[in-house]
Amino acid sequence: MKKVIYLSGGSGMVGRNIIDHIQSQDYKILTPKRSELNLLKYEDVKNFLNQNKPDLVLHAAGVVGGIEANIDNPVKFLVENTQIGINILTASKETKIKSFINLGSSCMYPRNSNNPLSEEQILSGKLEPTNEGYALAKIGTTKLCEYINSEDNSYLYKTIIPCNLYGKYDNFNNNSSHMIPAVIKKIHEAKKKNLQFVEIWGDGIARREFMYASDLTDFIYFAIKNFNKMPQNINVGIGKDYSINDYYKKIASIIGFKGEFKNNLSKPIGMKKKLISNQKLKEFGWKHKTSLEDGIKKTYEYFLKMEEEKK
C-alpha cells in the first residue's frame, strides 16, 4: 500500500520539483491548491489532515521573494509565514501525525556568524535586516519542530535547511524572483536588446551558495527513506559559494552576452557571505549531483521554454 504524503506549497518551485521527483509507486502525494485549503485557517488545516491521515507532512509552503520583496513587505513575510507554520505543525501534532519535514532557510543564520554556518548557530546573533521577517518566521517553525519532538520523541518533526535554490519552475517575475532567475532574465533581455551594460546591485563581492532545486528534492527522497537517522536540523547545500559577480559572469557566458557590468553601490546586498556547513550532510551520506554550469543551462532552457509559451 502506498504511503501518503501531504505536501504544502505544491505549486511553488520546490513543491513542483518534489512532485516530479517523489511521485512514484512508493508514495501518493496530496497537494491541495490554495483555493482548496487555506493554510492561514487552523480549523481547515486540521480537518484536512483528519480526513486524509497522511503518513508524513512535507511543509514547503510560504510567502517567498528576493531582497526587494522582503524589504517592501516585512509584515506579510513575518505574519503569514509564522501563521502557516504554527497552523500546520500544531494541527499535525493534534491529529497524531508522527513524521513531519519542515523546509527552513539559510537566512535563519545570523548575519555576522563565522562561515561555514553550522546548524548550532541558529539564534546565536542578529539576523540580516533585509529579510529579517522571513527569517524570524522560519526560525519559529524550526524551533517549534524541536519543541514538539522534545516533549514527545515519538513525533519526528525535523527541519531541512537548504542553501539558496534555483532551477526548473523558478519564478522569473521582476518584483519577486530570487537572484539567479532574476539575472538570467536580465541578461537574456540585455542580449536581445544589444545593451552594452548590465547593472549589478552592490559591489558584487558578496558570496552566495546556490543548489539546483531538483538536487534538493533528491535529498528529500533520500531523507524520507532514512528518516529515523536524519538529524533534527540538517543543512543541505553544495559546500561551495561564489561571488555575485561570478554568477553574473557565468550566466552571461552561458547566454552569450558580450557586454560589460556596472556595479550600483547604492543598492542593498544582503549578507556578505552565506555558506552553510555540509558536515552533517556528509555524515548522513548524501551529496548533490548537478554542477553550477549544468544547473544554469537547464534553468535557462526552462526560461526560454516559458518565454516561447507566452507567445
pLDDT, residue 2, reads 86
d(CA 145, CA 305): 39
- Identify the CA nearest to 170 among candidates 36, 64, 291, 35: 64
Q: How many CB atoms lie within 10 A of CB 159?
A: 28
pLDDT (0 to 100) of residue 25: 66
- Render the burial of 252-273: b for 16+ CB within 10 Å, e for the rest: bebbebeeebebeeeeebbbeb
Assess whether 134 carries a catalytic annotation: yes
Q: How far apart are CA 188 and CA 257, in angstroms?
A: 8
pLDDT < 50: residue spans in the chain: none
Q: What is the pLDDT of residue 177?
A: 79
Chain centre to alpha carbon of residue 278: 16
Q: Do the beta carbons of residue 222 and residue 286 sit within 8 Å? A: yes
**Of these residues, 109, 134, 155, 169, which one is catalytic?**
134
Question: Model-level pTM?
Answer: 0.94
Residues 162-215: tens digit of each pLDDT? 999 999 999 998 767 789 999 999 999 999 999 999 999 899 999 999 999 999
Phi-psi region of 97 (alpha: psi -120 to 50; beta: other; left: phi over 0): beta
Is the dihedral angle over the CA atoms 179, 180, 184, 187 positive or is it negative?
A: positive
Rounded CA gap, 200 and 59, in Å? 33
Residue 69: name the closest of 160, 181, 199, 190 by CA: 181
